[in-house]
Amino acid sequence: MDIEISTVATTPFDDQRPGTSGLRKATKVFQQPHYLENFVQCILDSLPQKAGARLVLGGDGRFHNREAIQTIIRMAAANGLAELIIGQGGILSTPAASHLIRKNATDGGIILSASHNPGGPDGDFGIKFNTPNGGPAPEKITEAIYAATKTLSAYRIAATDPIDLDRIGETTLGGLTVRVIDAVDDYAELMQTLFDFDLIRDYLGDGRRMVFDAMHAVTGPYARRIFEGLLGCPEGTVWNGEPLPDFGGGHPDPNLAHAKKLVETMYAEDGPFFGAASDGDGDRNMILGHRFFVTPSDSLAVLAANATIAPGYRDGIAGVARSMPTSAAADRVAEKLGVDCYETPTGWKFFGNLLDAGRITLCGEESFGTGSDHVREKDGLWAVLFWLNLLAAKRKPVAEILREHWQTYGRNVYARHDYEEVDSDGARALMDDLGARLPAMAGTRLGGRTVAYADDFAYTDPVDGSVSEHQGLRIGFEDGSRIVFRLSGTGTSGATLRVYLEQFTDDPADYERDAHALLEPIASLAAEVAKIEHYTGRDTPSVIT
């Protein structure tokens, strides 16, 4: 099909610096004339060889997803790309997109998502570029894209009819082949190479009831195919399985605050033995047993300790990595296994070099993200399947598995307090003030505890030597407890102050106690030391997880 190509004059926008997970803004911002086009042109211009390039393209189905995909198709055709691989309906979970990039050896991929942020006309939208390894673009690439956005004067776009995204098949636009594929097939096939589906199917078929809340987000089709199809769970096991542009009016963040119905069901007297949820783009997970919540930090540690039960990890793990705010539970497992444990900044891209270099097999973040070397993104459904494989192998409830784990390794009691949409200037003033006071804290007593270290976390990548500074303020105590303060880079309005609380205990009496009760003293200390109410006007967090 012949196409007509236009070069459209434009002017830069001053707010297109990507964060830890790409560019996220209110949907209305992306709907401005030229806004999406400018950023996409800068992504395409960043490719080492734009002419003939091949990319994966898809998103989480949120409002404006289809329109954005059509725009990107027209721009790809105008910029001389050779192929786009697109999920049917414009749908691709983030881990599935990572897998497709790797499996098809493309030049990268463009993922349209604002992850766990709300969707709809008044919600959020996002776009990020993943490199040929399947992972989020590292800082050197996102900074190059940002630099290009500040000088861009024109973009190229073709005038074509819309592609039918719901029909599997190929369409040619000039020199560009647009290939619409089944969004689930390749991912489901990959999962069957990693986990014992026969064992899980038999276990679930023995009268055990599980539920999975897809939160009207991207994992609905994947979960229905895998749980209700391949694993034989009854229809209705997957809740909210139809992806909706506004996520059904909900907040697609799988945590105790936003998956309330799931939590209520799991804590009911006759609740299922296992429950889980995933987020907007399918890379996060929440794991629940009957009347038991598994923190993401504990989840990573338990999977690392039991990795060899899954066929894909029978030879053991090379190492494990966690983001700095994530609890040190995985560190204790790594030490016992005799493998390395790496502490990285927040952001999945920091795990990429370690995975590519073969230094680690499993990795995770406290923000409900866990993954492995099968892709270069965190993976919600992968984590759920890993837990099901573990439950089927051990034939013990979730709570018992955790308590046995603590008997061996001790318990890193953990929680995160989020102060959402606080005044940005106040939040920055808090961090500046606290940061200035940190150097004098080491060796002093705070709240009856002795400070072992107090610093602004910096990371030197052991593979390429790159340095990332100002990654979060840490106060560590001699008893193993920690307080960490960070400003989140995933929101689109105001600032989110995240306060991470951790306390280690090897007292068996504490294994039955509520985490928030155990952490109450250190939570009060954190609020006092950082002067949270003074700087934010908040005396309680918005969300506690």
SS3 of residue 71 by DSSP: helix
In the numeric block, the tokens 């790309």 are attached to 81
Sign of CA dihedral 418, 420, 423, 428: positive
Considering only CA atoms, which of 95, 63, 90, 49 is closest in space to residue 178? Answer: 90
pLDDT at 152 over 70: yes
What one-letter code names the amino acid at 304? A
Give the global pTM: 0.94
Question: Which pLDDT score, from 0 to 100, does residue 206 have?
Answer: 86
Q: Which helix (H) or strand (E) holds 521?
A: helix 515-530
Q: 46-61, pLDDT tens digit by residue?
A: 999 999 999 999 999 9
Question: Which pLDDT score, from 0 to 100, does residue 222 have?
Answer: 98
> What tokens appear for 16 in the block?
């297109």
Question: Which pLDDT score, from 0 to 100, does residue 37 have?
Answer: 98
pLDDT at 20 over 80: no
**Chain-wide mean pLDDT for the chain?**
96
pLDDT at 160 over 70: yes
pLDDT at 494 over 90: no
pLDDT at 491 over 80: no
pLDDT at 122 over 90: yes
Question: Which pLDDT score, from 0 to 100, does residue 139 have?
Answer: 87
What average pLDDT does this structure show over 300-315?
98
SS3 of residue 480 by DSSP: coil
Output DSSP code: residue 101.
Answer: H
Question: Which pLDDT score, from 0 to 100, does residue 490 have?
Answer: 53
Contact 384, 287 (CB under 8 A): yes
In the numeric block, the tokens 């009854």 are attached to 234
Q: Per the residue annotation, which of 98, 115, 278, 327 is the catalytic one? A: 115
What average pLDDT does this structure show over 440-445?
97
Strands, E assignment, 103-246: 109-112, 124-130, 154-159, 169-173, 176-181, 210-213, 238-239
Whole-angstrom distance, CA of residue 262 vs CA of residue 283: 18
> What tokens appear for 419 in the block?
């102060």
> What tokens appear for 203 in the block?
């276990």
Indicate if 115 belongs to the active site: yes
Domains and CATH numbers, the chain: 4-183 (3.40.120.10), 187-409 (3.40.120.10), 411-544 (3.30.310.50)
What average pLDDT does this structure show over 208-220?
97
Contact 234, 208 (CB under 8 A): no
Considering only CA atoms, which of 233, 209, 382 is closest in space to residue 307? Answer: 382
What average pLDDT does this structure show over 170-195?
97
SS3 of residue 85 by DSSP: strand
Question: Which percentage of the chain shows pLDDT scores above 90?
Answer: 94
Which residues touch 306 (CB under 8 Å, ≥6 apart)?
A: 390, 393, 394
pLDDT at 45 over 60: yes
Considering only CA atoms, which of 492, 496, 375 is closest in space to residue 23? Answer: 492
